[in-house]
Structure 1
Amino acid sequence: MSARTYGSLARIADFNDGNFDVQRLDRSQWATGDYVEGEVVGTPTTLYRVEDCNGHMVKVEPGDWVVGALGDRVATLEGVGGWADIRDDGTMHALTSAGLMGWFTSISTLFPDPLTLSYRGHLCRDGRKVCMSEFAIRADGHAFSVPSVLLFGTSMSAGKTMSGRRVCKELDRAGFFVIGSKLTGAGRYRDILSFLKTGAREIYDFVDGGLPSTVVPEQQFRDAIRPVLNHINERKPDYVIVEAGASPMEPYN
């Protein structure tokens, strides 16, 4: 029997193995943020691991099933690709270990072969596909007036998350209520979890806004992220640590 692993992009959803069906849909019905399932194929490498909804890394093998979401990634240091490039036969890559599903059109020569899967279908309920946006934070207003520490750099792996962890730790030591957040980038739970472990009392990111990554049109990004900011504002922290993932020179908004 195939083992099913839910990538951390599914952490906002209410999935269990009995509350959805897996149905193959025509490509004309696919869209960013759709929840899909793939069967692991190919020869395993060190990238055949999935970050689950608790942030743990789970080793997967051919025949296992992985739940993730369609999306795009433009991390020029590691790899670039998207769901529109998924092969005609349904072969796809996990663009991040969180289950960001697409196909790498460019990948670092220093990387082993990425986790490869075969599209099994979309997660559906009552014949309708299930999307990340259905589980996003909602808000009536768009207020935000929290003192913020914004962290950005010229590339991924530039030290933004490490700096954020340190800031969270020092502000927590000083007795402040700190929220950690990551508002741009490609879906991965690890970074904001590290904020929680080093002093932030709560954490939020664009996944909470229903986005698998922030490689989306600007208005779609704004519509998704404003409710998240409003929710943070309502929590009334003393400070929010905001990491802007990847690089401002890449199209992550």
Structure 2
Amino acid sequence: MEPIASFRLTAAKRSYAVRRVNFAECTHILTKACQPKPGDLVLARVQTLGSHKRIELPNGRKATLHEGDEVLLAFGNRYAPDQYEAYVPDTLEACHMVAAGGIAAKAVSWHDRLSGPTAIEPVGVLCRSDGKAVNLKEFALPTIACQMPAAVFGVFGTSMNAGKTATAASLVRGFALSGYKVGALKVTGTAAGGDPWLMHDSGATQVLDFTDGGLATTFGTPLDTIVGTTRNLLRTLHKSDCDVAVVEIADGLFQEETRQVAASPLMHSLFDGVVFAAGDALGAVAGVQSLEKLGYQVLGLSGAVMRSPLAVREAILNVDVPAFSLADLQHPATVSTIMEHTLSGRLAAAQ
């Protein structure tokens, strides 16, 4: 362990993932015999640029990276079939920046359209004077005790890039245009600012994600942690007077954490209804049927499948739910229908 000059931390490029950290608490650095844990902060030096040539700063700007730059990242596992599969290494060995939002991990596989990961050399894990590593969980929003928003809607999907975020953002806009004070929440995935910015731009009065709960990523995170974080973030939205919340669950139903979340009675109890985003007709049908078997009220289909009228016709022939374009989700008439289904669902559950 050795002291770290504050100007060195100021000069380093800080990532979105570490935006909640008070760096005044980072007075020392562990450079040897350290086993990183998910959420630990790392000062690293860019060795070789790969597919990630920019880093997302806390304000959302994508800063260009150069070999030799020092960056402030958080260790975390990554699950991204269209990008990287990566894991927190056991030592401070050379590894990779596997997400522009600022995730350090050892990449073990990646999509063949990528050139390969950006290589980094960890300088050390940031710590306090007592040698305790600084971790994102210490800067999570405080646990509060209050009610949930009056209505909560989830967005599940078949996979990465199925259109979940666009679907969630359109729901946000639809509720906002209908006069609701709507909050948005992303509860699983990899730290990145793009989705929260889109929710803000779509009319959400407050947007939170799992990084506000002290998590750099959720791949490999225990279910009880995800559930507890989700419930606390929803309460935080309610405390901000949001009467409706839209919750995006990342990745697809085959991803382990998403599968556990979908099957969890505690998570299920949070949602008044869900919309399913899919990229094709078969995925749409399989996803809706899977969620209905778990007891969810599936309000409709959306996502990338909506680009193909033929695929939409194939899907709705096999499931008894409507298909919504992004424009549909933003229309007050759709919002009114969704809220009517919510009320009828509550009445049925009470009987």
Q: TM-score, normalised by structure 2?
A: 0.66
SS in 2 for 1:128: coil
Matched residue, 2:103: 100
Matched residue, 2:200: 196
Structure 2: distance between partners of 1:191 and 1:75? 15
Matched residue, 1:210: 214
Shift of 1:71: 0.8
Structure having the higher helix fraction is 2
Contact 1:142 1:229 in 2 (8 A): no
Shift of 1:46: 4.7
How do 1:157-236 and structure 2 match up within 5 A?
157-215=161-219, 216-236=221-241
* Alpha-carbon spacing, 1:75–1:142, altered in 2? closer, same or farther (3 Å): farther
Q: In terms of Rg, which structure is larger?
A: 2
Structure 2: distance between partners of 1:25 and 1:209? 29
The list of structure 1 runs, each at least 4 consecutive aligned residues, that deviate by more than 6 angstroms after superposition, is none
Shift of 1:78: 2.0
Question: Greater relative contact order (Cα 8 A, min sep 6): structure 1 or 2?
Answer: 1
How many corresponding residue pairs? 248
Structure 2 unpaired stretches of 5+: 1-6, 259-351
Structure 1: distance between partners of 2:156 and 2:62? 26
Aligned counterpart in structure 2 of residue 115 of structure 1, from 102, 115, 118: 118
Structure 1: distance between partners of 2:257 and 2:66? 31
Contact 1:181 1:205 in 2 (8 A): yes
How do 1:56-75 and structure 2 match up within 5 A?
56-75=61-80
- Greater Cα offset, 202-211 or 30-39: 30-39
Match status 1:13 vs 2:17: no
Matched residue, 1:154: 158
Aligned counterpart in structure 2 of residue 141 of structure 1, from 132, 136, 145: 145
Structure 1: distance between partners of 2:198 and 2:112? 28
- Greater Cα offset, 231-240 or 189-198: 231-240
Structure 1: distance between partners of 2:200 and 2:50? 30
Match status 1:34 vs 2:40: yes
Structure 2: distance between partners of 1:146 and 1:251? 29
Q: TM-score, normalised by structure 1?
A: 0.90
SS in 2 for 1:179: strand
- Structural RMSD (CA): 2.1
Structure 2: distance between partners of 1:128 and 1:89? 16
Shift of 1:205: 0.5
Match status 1:81 vs 2:89: no
SS in 1 for 2:225: helix
- Greater Cα offset, 143-152 or 125-134: 143-152
